Chain A
Amino acid sequence: MDWQYFMELFLGGLTRGSIYALIAIGYTMVYGIIELINFAHGEVYMLGAFVGLIIAGVLGIMGFPAPAILVLAAIVAIIYCASYGYTMEKVAYKPLRGAGRLSPLISAIGMSLFLQNYIILAQTSDFLPFPRLIPDFAFIEPIAHVFGSSDFVIVATSAFFMAGLTLFIKYTKMGKAMRATAQNRKMAMLLGVDSDRVISITFIIGSSLAALGGVLIASHVGMVNFAIGFLAGIKAFTAAVLGGIGSIPGAMLGGLFLGLSESFATGYISSDYEDVFAFTLLVVFLIFRPSGIMGKAKVEKV
């Protein structure tokens, strides 16, 4: 067994996996609370990358230093995507509450197509180069050929935000309200939880994390395009399903699992079938194990 190669694949999978996990959290939280597959979530991620690119471009021309640009671009992207998520929910999903399962899903597909075409019309349908913003850290130099500083930043940032989210859900009043709404919305409303507000906050948190993922991955890969949201969205949804949809720790675990298994599958089997692998995993899990890897045990929602 070639340890060097194994570690390379493992660390590559870790980076991928943390991005999947960041996006998957948005799917899983929304699903946990209103049982909707927010099809447009991948597009929010794409939007985050675009806003990040625009802000980074403007600041870059104004001559800011790279780390400051990265932080500012990420913050602005988060603010904007949170606003988009909030507005999207108000326009496309809220009027449909209580209208069955399929109408909101079709509305979400419409929303996703809308956002893609919005970018095509207002920006471009070409691939745009994203500036390299993550500086090279000295301490990561010895392993930079397998785990560069952008990988480090991605893994560290996502770990930080996921830990923060876990604490938020566990210890704040809003987090408690979220858990209550996910368990039983009617009962939570009867006990004085403002469910509309909880839903809005859910969309805001999910979209912020997606935006963060978008900016991070864009500066890692160096390319942005209107279509990146579709594949990332499906893969993140796969991650959410793997971990048991509705469960936040599950989404994190599912993201890592998907990232690692994708990385190993492409490394040891064939890189031609990378996407086929993810889709197959999605289909197989939805059919045979819709409750996720952890199986029958009732997963705690949110």
Chain B
Amino acid sequence: MNELRKSFLVSLWFMFLTFPIMVIRVNTVEKIVVWRWENMAMIGIGSFVLSFVWRWAIRRKEASDAVAASGQKKTGRMAELAENPSLTNSLKALFLVGFLVTPWLVTTYQTNILISFLLYVVLGLGLNVIVGVAGLLFLGHAAFYAIGAYSYALLNQYFGLGFWFALPLGGVFAALAGIALAFPVLRLRGDYLAIVTLGFGEIVRLLLENLSDITGGPSGISNIPRPGFFDIKLSVADANIYIYYIVLALAIITIIAVSRLKDSRIGRALQALREDEVACEAMGIDRVGVKVMAFGLGTAWAGFAGVIFAAKTTFINPASFTFFESAIILSIVVLGGMGSNLGVILGSAFLVLLPEYLRAFSEYRMIMFATAMVLMMVFRPQGLIPAKGRTYTVDDPDLVTADGGANK
């Protein structure tokens, strides 16, 4: 009874809260007011039901927090499956073959969607190095994407450089910009760092918009050539498939590089720094050097992706690289699970593929992802597929104490 009353009050509150925005639509020019009472009924019923779910979820979370606090370790089903090597290897092979043959089976339009999916995978994995592994909240990823895209467009326009020359250069420029940004901002605390990177991203975008003599201003640069294939002129559809394979290769390289990075010396240093900076410095980890490297390694991927993006669309303008873009990439990382590469791939699949194939859903895409971002933080901060640290098991019975924990 008490629960019912609580939910009733919640639904009343939300009906009140959403009243002017959801119900009234006013046209001040033609002086027409539209009252949409059906929305209010929907909000009322929806919030009534959701408040039950919300309280149940909160209780469940508190219970699981209590379990975690008592020291019991719990592994999810997903995590267990992900640990089985024969299963994961065959799955990987299956996916690879699937991705290799798809462009020949589907339309150009579908290939385009897959290209943008793979671009987001690359962007997400790059950001994951900074946000997930190093734990630095970074809100300016789109700026480095822009640096990559504009490097290709401008180098091509002014120096006639081809795609294959621009691809590594785009990555290098983005990495250099990342490193240049890293030095001054590294002493900042987490939340300040986030705002500074956001400011940096906006400055880059505004500069691109205002330096019209060089960058074409808000109207951008058009007629960027698609990558050439040994001097053979490809048709648009074929060029698209060609680009698809380039992105696929880049995505695979990124996946391999990033997952190797995580367990490397730098990767472990980054994860350690995320946990405790002072202890790390005491252990002799070069705090500045390692973090600068994280910035460079993360932003370089955005640069590569940017070059491919420019080649794919053949037209770029600053409007493609707003804060919104950075927020989308961030939400991919957050949804998937910070620090988990599989999670990032899944996150970009959700963000790019689902709205594309569920048309009814696409209008609500951003609001659902925004909601998911909040809910994820509240209920599952580790993401869909939590990152797994390296684990070591001790077999020597002399080193294992009675309660199963390792002794020293």
Chain A positions near chain B (C-beta within 8 angstroms) = 35-37, 47, 50-51, 53-58, 60-61, 76, 80, 83-84, 87, 91-92, 95-96, 99, 101-107, 109-114, 116-119, 121-123, 128-131, 230, 234, 237, 272-273, 275-276, 279-280, 282-283, 286-287, 290
Contacts and interface: CB of A to CB of B under 8 A. Distances in A.
B195 A110 contact: no
B20 A76 contact: yes
A79 to B, nearest CB: 10
B39 interface: yes
Interface of B is mostly: helix
Given A58-B33, A105-B137, A50 B21 contact: yes
A181 to B, nearest CB: 19
7 contacts: A50-B21, A54-B25, A105-B194, A122-B39, A276-B206, A283-B200, A290-B188
A37 B191 contact: yes
A118 B367 contact: yes
Interface in B4-27: 13, 16-18, 20-22, 24-27
B28 A131 contact: yes
Given A117-B370, A129-B28, A287-B184, A123 B378 contact: no
Nearest to A47: B21
B374 interface: yes
Sort A-B residue pairs by CB-CB distance and give the 3 closest, nearest first.
A110-B373, A57-B26, A113-B370
B191 A105 contact: yes
Contacts of B372: 110
Contacts of A276: 203, 206-207, 210
B21 A109 contact: no
Contact of A101 (B39, B190, B199, B203): B190
A276 B26 CA distance: 35
B17 A84 contact: yes
A78 to B, nearest CB: 13
Contacts of A107: 373-374, 377-378
A237 B195 CA distance: 9
Interface in B107-162: 135, 137, 139
Contacts, number: 161
A113 B139 CA distance: 14
A275 B202 contact: yes
Given A57-B33, A122-B21, 11 more contacts: A50-B20, A53-B26, A58-B26, A80-B17, A95-B58, A96-B377, A101-B191, A107-B373, A117-B370, A280-B199, A286-B188
A93 to B, nearest CB: 9
B198 interface: yes
Contacts of A117: 366-367, 370
Nearest to B36: A122
Contacts of A55: 20
A125 to B, nearest CB: 11
Interface stretch (B91-99, B305-313, B323-331): B323-331
Contacts of A61: 26, 31, 33
A26 to B, nearest CB: 16
Contacts of B39: 122
B355 interface: no
B225 interface: no
A258 B21 CA distance: 32
B45 interface: no
Contacts of A50: 20-21
Contacts of A51: 20-21
Contacts of B188: 286-287, 290
